[in-house]
A and B are shown apart, each in its own frame.
Chain A
Amino acid sequence: MQTVLSIAIDALAYGMVLFVISIGLSVTMGLMRVVNLAHGAFAMIGGYLASYATRDLGLGYAPAILIAVVATAIIAVPIERLLYRRIYGAPELTQVLMTIGITFCVIGLANYAFGPTLKTIPLPETLSGSIDLGFRAIATHRIFAIVCGLIVAGGLWFLIERTAFGIRLRAAVDNAPMAAALGVRTQLVYAVSFAVAVGLAAFGGIVGAELLPVEPYYALRYMVTFLVAVSIGGAGSIPGALIACLLLGAIDTTGRYLAPEYGEFFFYLAVIVIVTLFPRGLAGRFK
């Protein structure tokens, strides 16, 4: 019983970290319909900036997160204007080519600017210890990640379902010409959504850095994991992404506990089974 609880709590933490990072991708892919393979690259930029801010500038954890997230979003704006805008509505494969190109560039530049070694983001005192749950100890930052995941999920849900911006966004997604005719500035809506998605990626990259360490190949190393999470959840759906990430976290964690030597195998087998059963994702909103 203890073991089951223990696995469950690990699965929850891992799933939440996955969720924080993937949800931004789900937004770009589901709402803006861009197969954005460069999503991990933005998470990585966030991680690098946060590491730089804490280690080299000596900033605290919270201000470093804030600065890194905002800075990543700012970096993303010209990229959106110059590159992404050309591939909205383009065939998927073209989008794949462009975003892989961006990923390669980011990797190369990160390697050049920060060197090939691992970068860490030192946790503040309050997050760096462990908490004793009675049946086992769990790292405090994992609890922090779980909380962050819940806040992000709730915040996004509120933003999309309950605010004026959310209404515009959904209108622009459902029927761009119609929304434009009604006075929605679709280009601006897209730019803002993209910045939000990128900001979430950066946030996830920082919060998840204890599990997915920041290094130049981050962008490619975890790309598949993020894609799988979004696809299983159904692109564009917040609850879908949440359920998918928790489910994948559970499968992965259980697999690693029970049969680590076949972990990878069962993980992908499960992916095949889930996709076959739910070819549109657990809660596919579009397509």
Chain B
Amino acid sequence: MAVLMDSTLPTRRRPLGTLIGIAVIIAASVIGYFLFPNNLALLTRIVATMLLVLSIDLVTGYCGVATLGHAALFGAGAYGAGIVSAHFGITEPLTMTLIGAVAGALAGLVSGIVILRAHGLPQLVLSIAVVHLFHEVANKASSWTGGSDGLSGITTDALLGLFEFDLWGRTAYIYGIVLLLIVFVSLRILVQSPFGMLARGVREDPVRVAAMGASVHSVMLRMYVISGAVAGVGGALNAISTQVVGLDSLSFTLSAEALVMLVLGGTGSLYGAMVGTVSFMWFEDVVSAANPFHWLTIVGALLIVVVLFAPKGLYGSAAAFLSRRRGGER
């Protein structure tokens, strides 16, 4: 029986994919750096939002959990990093980022416990309720969070004691890109790991996963915690680079916008999340600078066009198109 079968099994998708991804991210960031040297603040914001969108993709794209409340996790990270700096004098950026990740993970645990109690529309509504609760708590705890005035007074040491976070935002940008690369590689490892496979299984058929003896709920909850850490890093990056945290970072609006970006790019793939964020925010920036008064209509039209002509999202549809072109090669 013990035939040497493994040699006949061609292995697919070697780490090459990850390497290409890293190369693309680095190339894009270098191009961004030189093409828009005066726009680094915006680029940093895009990176921070990208982390939030990646984090949504982990639960929505990989586990099939619909959420309109993910900003709760992002905001927890931002406030976590901001509060330790403004109130406890912990101003070392790496520590702040780490604290942001932990705060995000905790928020992920809490919202996961709540949100995973239902499915479909009720689940969506639970996620909305959660983000509103977080928002209310932050508004009430104004002695800690600054309430609606925003948390100001966040200071940050030079990164590694060498690089100041300055007006031009170079340090913040490069730090953001490094964080993004670390997160990207970690997530690539995660989604290709047995756990990642299990999560995809949960998305496709939770009953089957349970019949294999795995706990669907615990898979999703763990993913929520991981997703919280990722969003928390994004929030912390935002707090470090802008030195202020507002209630908007815990808002339903941000949650919805981030979900739109994800669907725009295509769910269930890390690239889709990143492509969606860049396209949406870049488009929004261009259109709103060109016409600050009526850009919303144009963004709305873009969304409709995408659904009509690229129903799997920009990246998803492009990938599907390419693989169809290549035929049954894979």
Contact = CB atoms under 8 A, between A and B. Distances in A.
* Direct A/B contact, Cβ within 8 angstroms: yes
Interface of A: 29, 35, 83, 86-87, 90, 92-94, 96-98, 100-109, 111-112, 224, 227-228, 230-232, 235, 262, 264-265, 268-269, 271-272, 275-276, 279-281, 287
Contacts of A35: 121, 124
Contacts of B259: 93, 96
B301 A264 contact: no
B60 interface: yes
A287 B299 contact: no
A229 to B, nearest CB: 9
7 contacts: A96-B260, A100-B256, A103-B300, A104-B300, A272-B130, A275-B126, A279-B119
Task: Enumerate the 5 nearest inter-chain pairs by beta-carbon distance, A residue then B residue, closest first.
Answer: A104-B300, A108-B297, A101-B303, A105-B300, A279-B118
B300 A231 contact: no
Contact of B306 (A97, A103, A107, A269): A97
A271 B300 contact: no
A104 B140 CA distance: 31
A268 B134 CA distance: 10
A97 to B, nearest CB: 5
B297 A112 contact: yes
Contacts of A271: 125-126, 129
B120 interface: yes
Does more than half of chain A's interface fall in helix, strand or loop, or is it mixed? helix
B260 A269 contact: no
Nearest to B120: A287
Given A100-B303, A232-B125, 11 more contacts: A97-B260, A97-B264, A101-B304, A105-B297, A108-B298, A265-B136, A268-B130, A269-B129, A271-B129, A272-B130, A275-B129
A268 B129 CA distance: 5
A279 B72 CA distance: 22
Contacts of A230: 121
B14 interface: no
B60 A86 contact: no
A279 B129 contact: no
Given A104-B299, A112-B297, A93 B263 contact: yes
Given A101-B303, A224-B252, A268 B297 contact: no
A194 B118 CA distance: 27
B307 A94 contact: yes
A279 B125 CA distance: 11
A178 to B, nearest CB: 24
Contacts of A281: 122
A230 to B, nearest CB: 7
Contact of A272 (B120, B126, B303): B126
A32 B313 CA distance: 23
